[in-house]
Amino acid sequence: MSGARDMVGADRPALYPPRALDPALVETGRRLFAREARFVAGAATAAGLPSEGLPEIAFTGRSNVGKSSLVNALTGRRMLARISNTPGRTRQLNFFDLGGALMLVDLPGYGYAEASKAAIANWTGLVQHYFRVRAALSRVCVLVDARHGLKPPDRPLLRLLDESGLSFQVVLTKTDKIAAADLAKIAEAVLADLALHPAAHPEIHLTSAAKHHGIAALRATLAAFARHACADPAQQRPASDLPR
């Protein structure tokens, strides 16, 4: 099972601070992300945002950090979200319906020096609008390159999330590109930084879309936000067990 493989090797924990995951949660995440993922809408303007329905998980971060690659790794679809070596590839908010249970939203990156001022203003305005108005938005995954940690272009985003009271979680990406000892140092530094952010979740995920590290663990975390997370009868508690 990929969940078990994820946790093998103490040098590549899937979570920081490192901890083992409940296998039942990993299985719930695996089942959820085994459902079909379907592109629903690409919004380049506020008017283009699809109507709200499912709980949403947004993936944000600097340009080229690996947002689209992570969405593909989570859903097990190589070509669902477009990936590119050219920074600034994702130019709209892309909505993916995961089995009628969760909406994954791949956002355009920020901190892309080559983009025109007008284009940057347009994306930034739209993403800010989305963060402010979207009641269905349940968690924001802030992707950070494991080699670099948090950088100045991340600051306005973290401020905005704090101000909006939007719960966010840092996900380190491209962990295959860094030695285990350096990874732990970066993870420590990021955690220390997050302690200053009231909206930050106090645990970070460590992932590599290329090597599929940490993907099962992130699926498990995100499954908690899905509609009908307990729709699987095997996961449902008998009515007599439910709190009154």
Choose between 209 and 217: whose C-beta lies nearer to ligand GTP. Answer: 209
How far is residue 57's CA from residue 77's CA, in Å, rounded to a whole number? 17
Give the residue at shortest CB distance from Mg ion: 90
**Is there binding between residue 210 and ligand GTP (CB under 6 A)?**
yes
How many residues touch ligand GTP under the rule CB under 6 A: the total is 22
**Is there binding between residue 205 and ligand GTP (CB under 6 A)?**
no
Which entry of ligand GTP, Mg ion, none binds 240, CB below 5 to 8 A by partner kind?
Answer: none
**Is there binding between residue 28 and ligand GTP (CB under 6 A)?**
no
Which entry of Mg ion, ligand GTP, none binds 197, CB below 5 to 8 A by partner kind?
Answer: none
Give the residue at shortest CB distance from ligand GTP: 109
Q: Which two tokens stand for residue 93?
A: 């908010």
Q: Where are the alpha helices (DSSP H) in the chain?
A: 2-7, 23-34, 67-75, 117-133, 155-164, 180-194, 215-223
User: Residues 65 to 94: which contact ligand GTP by CB under 6 A?
Assistant: 65-69, 83-85, 87-90
User: Residues 113 to 172: which contact ligand GTP by CB under 6 A?
Assistant: none
Q: Which residue is associated with the tokens 């409940």?
A: 22
Q: Which amino acid is at 179?
A: A
Q: Compute the Cα dihedral for 223, 105, 218, 74 and give only its sign.
A: positive
Q: Looking at residue 168, what DSSP letter applies?
A: E
Do the Cβ atoms of 112 and 127 come closer than 8 Å?
no
Q: Which amino acid is at 28?
A: T
Closest CB 106 distance from Mg ion, rounded Å: 6
Applying CB under 5 A, the residues found at the interface with Mg ion are 67-68, 90
